Amino acid sequence: MRQDSLFHDLPSPSKIRQADEDRLAELKNQIRHHDYLYYVKDHPEISDGEYDRLFRELLDLELKYPDLITADSPTQRVGAPPLDELGKAPHERPMLSLDSLMDPEEVLAFDQRMKRELGTAQIDYTVEPKFDGLSVELVYDRGTFVRGATRGDGTTGEDVTRNLRTIRTLPLQLQTDTYPDHLVMRGEVYMRLSDFHALNRRMTERGDDAFANPRNAAAGSLRQLDSHITASRPLVVTCYEVMAMTGPPPSTHWDELEQLATWGLPVPTLRRRCETIDQVLAFHRETQEQRDHLPYEIDGVVVKVNRVDWQDRLGMKSRSPRWAIAFKFPPRKEITEIQDIAISVGRTGTLTPLALLRPVEVGGVTISRATLHNADEVARKDIRVGDTVRVERAGDVIPAIAERIPISGQVRPEPFLMPQHCPICGSAVAREGAYYYCTGQATCPAQLKGAIEHFASKTALNIDGLGKKTVAQLVDQELVKDLSDLYRLNQEQLLKLEGFAERSSTLLLEAIARSKASVPLERFLMGLGIRQVGQHIAKVLAREFGSLDAIMTADRDRFQNIREIGPEISESLVSYFQEQSNRRVISQLQQLGVSIMQAGSPQDQTTLPFSGKSFVFTGGLSSFSRDEAKALVERLGATVTSSVSKKTTYVVAGSEAGSKLDQAGRLGVRILNEDEFKNLVNASEKP
């Protein structure tokens, strides 16, 4: 056979591309179908391994042909780059609220009003759950999801299209070939209770603030500027109303829901068509009885006149339709069920057990978690998962379990036990009195956020701009894994964080760089966040040892020879400096340029300009914070006290000075205003 004949038989590049395009389209349809079966119908047909194989094949083809990637591709659910803010989105039709009724007599009166206005003796109703989530508008053009928005003020919402695309139960492309060119629906975004408790458990264990209830969790997740965060949250959506569409609409609301389901859209499965208002009341009673066993949170049922032409005749009021109401359930009161017990790891490593509850109203607030304080309290009250409990809220603080309510015949699990290892970092858990704590300290991610905030505080390294929100982003995005990573940050990394632009990132980097220079030993010790080492003990250690090396090599006996230090503080210090990970972080901080000043000996202190002088501060200063002024005079050799006596050298009086100013006048103590204080300090700092 001739060689040119062999080449002639090979497919052309155009044919190869066409075959790949056909396969890519086929893969999209297959994956959409399996997503629908898995996420909407809860009835998968293939294994996870087979699904992953199809998904990887699609990814490979899209990598080969980036120009073929479309917004409705199953691969595009992972999120997009963060936005500076959510844009505004006007609704095609107003998204109205519903009138809420609680009393069956009010519902009967609603039925009579509908019959009177329509001039009929019988009305069909459709009744469905009132999901406790976030209402959204969903727009499809030619079968493809193109836009989504929150309800907002009813006429204009926030554009959350990119975030909605990450929700697996929302099809990006409608099924079947017969769908309207333009379709606008209303739906509800929410979290299933099991997913909500799993999310809260993860957040609690890593030291973040947990969500108060599933609705807050759904709203907070959907309105993120970073859609990657939304993609990581277990949101679902259910569609329940056609707001606009091209072509003739279905004649009843029931048929609307049936039609939406044929297009692959999730609709309420718990729904009923009722021929009489008595059937509506019966559905409400049955649903209320099922409420505590449903996989999602509802706060009532929605009653709608079924015929669409009757809905049009009844029309709208200013804020609500005349043809629909929310028939609410009475709020749960104080009695609820413990669905899980999670462990919260605080800044200092303390492990606190928290009860994750079926949401309940206490003092007018819906809550889903309550503190169990400590292991001894859990044992004393004999609290276990699955128990029915009464919750109380004293002084508007985090709710607590008041008591367990025994249930006859209930089979209870084994008693709750505190973990032996930190649920976040795996470090050993130690016990101190009634409290357990993680020994991992700043190497534990749950403690790391608090440790960074403490390290950057004004009494420690004083890094301006490292607030709670910024610190959380740095840790969550794994840009800072220990304290030393702060000094490795660059502008490119900071610009990826929410709320950062070129100017703000430059200012933070400058503040971090400034914090490295000439750090007083006591401030560095404070910044390390060693258990039981506050400002006073840090100063005592700096004064007694003079250098960090001397402190790190001291043993228990040496520490306990110091009058202010007892066995517990001594044990805490030795444990901290024996931990190799802590020593490694300290070494890296020094290698990265953190310059720790050695403290002078008592003899050296006598040569400082304010040696032997004592200061009292009262009122507010405009140029210094109280801590900054205090640190300034202490560095010059003075002592600072909280009360005025005859031995006080100076009282520095700022704005709104208190009784200390009067006392200084009576005792004849010299009083300095802020300008006089600054002049005194400047003169003392001159060589």
> Do residues 173 and 165 touch, judged by C-beta distance below 8 A?
no
**Other Cβ atoms closer than 10 A to 233:** 20
Please, what is the average pLDDT of the chain? 86
Burial of 464 (0-12, 13-18, 19+ CB in 10 A): middle
Q: Is the pLDDT of residue 30 over 70?
A: yes
Residue 90 lies in a domain: no
Q: In the listed set 328, 350, 383, which residue is the last one of a domain according to the structure?
A: 328
More confident residue, 40 or 429: 429
CATH of the domain at 61: 1.10.287.610
Residues 315, 347, single domain; the answer is no
Quote the CA–CA distance of 74 and 27 in Å, as a whole number: 10
- CA–CA distance from 164 to each of 221, 236, 299 (Å)? 10, 9, 24
- How does pLDDT run across 45-66, given as a tens digit for each residue? 887 678 778 888 888 888 888 8
Residue 84 lies in a domain: no
Mean pLDDT of 429-439: 84
Q: Is the pLDDT of residue 469 over 70?
A: yes
Classified as helix, coil or strand, 32 is: helix
Residues 397, 496, single domain; the answer is no
Q: In the listed set 372, 402, 436, which residue is the last one of a domain according to the structure?
A: 436
- CA–CA distance from 474 to each of 590, 660, 680 (Å)? 21, 43, 41
Which range among 142-156, 592-606, 626-640 shows the weakest confidence by mean pLDDT? 592-606
> Do residues 522 and 599 touch, judged by C-beta distance below 8 A?
yes
More confident residue, 38 or 159: 159
Residues 246, 380, single domain; the answer is no
Q: What domain count does the chain have?
A: 5
- How does pLDDT run across 216-269, given as a tens digit for each residue? 889 889 988 888 888 889 999 999 999 999 998 899 999 999 999 999 999 999
What DSSP letter does each residue of 612-665 carry, written as one string? Answer: T-EEEEESB-SSS-HHHHHHHHHHTT-EE-SS--TT--EEEE-BT--HHHHHHH
pLDDT in the model for residue 283: 97
pLDDT in the model for residue 563: 78
CATH of the domain at 445: 1.10.150.20
Segments in 39-103 forming alpha helices (H): 48-64
Helix or strand (DSSP H, E) at 523: helix 521-528
Domain that holds residue 613: 602-685
First to last CA, the chain: 98
- CA–CA distance from 383 to each of 129, 160, 201, 391, 406 (Å)? 32, 41, 17, 12, 11
CA angle centred on 158, ends 68 and 183, rounded to 5°: 60
- How does pLDDT run across 178-187, given as a tens digit for each residue? 889 999 999 9
Q: Is the pLDDT of residue 686 over 70?
A: no
Q: Is the pLDDT of residue 40 over 80?
A: no
Nearest to 299 by CA among 342, 332, 270, 335: 332
Residues 6+ apart with CB under 8 A from 264: 32, 36, 40, 171, 174, 175, 176
Quote the CA–CA distance of 414 and 507 in Å, as a whole number: 54
- CA–CA distance from 291 to each of 299, 339, 358, 635 (Å)? 9, 15, 11, 64
- How does pLDDT run across 287-313, given as a tens digit for each residue? 999 988 899 989 899 999 999 999 999
- Amino acid at residue number 154: G
Q: In the listed set 557, 582, 597, which residue is the last one of a domain according to the structure?
A: 597
CATH of the domain at 360: 2.40.50.140
Confidence band, pLDDT 50/70/90 cuts, at residue 286? very high
Is 130 designated active site? yes
Residues 378, 346, single domain; the answer is yes
Beta bridge partners of 304: 126, 324
Q: Which of 28, 130, 516, 539 is catalytic?
A: 130
Residues 243, 369, single domain; the answer is no
> Do residues 372 and 350 touch, judged by C-beta distance below 8 A?
no
pLDDT in the model for residue 313: 94
Establish how many alpha carbons lie within 13 A of residue 466's alpha carbon, considering only the half-sphere containing its beta carbon. 29
Quote the CA–CA distance of 518 and 143 in Å, as a whole number: 64
Residue 94 lies in a domain: no
Which range among 156-170, 229-243, 264-278, 455-469 shows the weakest confidence by mean pLDDT? 455-469
Residue 422 lies in a domain: yes
pLDDT in the model for residue 602: 44
Residue 6 lies in a domain: no
> Do residues 183 and 250 touch, judged by C-beta distance below 8 A?
no
Confidence band, pLDDT 50/70/90 cuts, at residue 146? very high
Residue 5 lies in a domain: no
Residues 134, 147, single domain; the answer is yes
Mean pLDDT of 466-493: 90
> Do residues 677 and 654 touch, judged by C-beta distance below 8 A?
no
The percentage of residues in the chain with a pLDDT greater than 70, rounded to a whole number, is 93
pLDDT in the model for residue 175: 84
CATH of the domain at 307: 3.30.470.30
Residues 432, 552, single domain; the answer is no
pLDDT in the model for residue 484: 92
Residue 636 lies in a domain: yes
Residue 615 lies in a domain: yes
- How does pLDDT run across 371-408, given as a tens digit for each residue? 888 888 888 889 999 999 988 765 445 678 888 888 88
Residues 290, 166, single domain; the answer is yes
Segments in 327-467 forming alpha helices (H): 375-381, 445-455
pLDDT in the model for residue 603: 41
pLDDT in the model for residue 203: 79
In the block, tokens 């015949």 appear at 409
Residues 507, 630, single domain; the answer is no
- How does pLDDT run across 617-667, given as a tens digit for each residue? 988 888 777 777 887 787 787 888 878 888 899 999 988 788 888 888 889
Residues 428, 457, single domain; the answer is no
- How does pLDDT run across 78-132, given as a tens digit for each residue? 656 666 678 899 999 999 889 889 899 999 999 999 999 999 999 999 999 999 8
Residues 317, 341, single domain; the answer is no
Residues 415, 527, single domain; the answer is no
Nearest to 489 by CA among 207, 82, 481: 481
> Do residues 28 and 58 touch, judged by C-beta distance below 8 A?
yes
Q: How many helices (H) and strands (E) does the chain have?
A: 26, 24
pLDDT in the model for residue 13: 79
pLDDT in the model for residue 395: 46
- How does pLDDT run across 504-561, given as a tens digit for each residue? 899 999 999 999 988 899 999 999 988 788 888 898 899 889 899 999 999 999 998 8
pLDDT in the model for residue 562: 87
Classified as helix, coil or strand, 189 is: strand
Mean pLDDT of 432-452: 80
State the DSSP code for 40.
I
pLDDT in the model for residue 254: 97
Burial of 433 (0-12, 13-18, 19+ CB in 10 A): exposed
CATH of the domain at 646: 3.40.50.10190
Quote the CA–CA distance of 530 and 451 in Å, as a whole number: 10
Handedness of CA 308, 310, 315, 317 (dihedral sign): negative
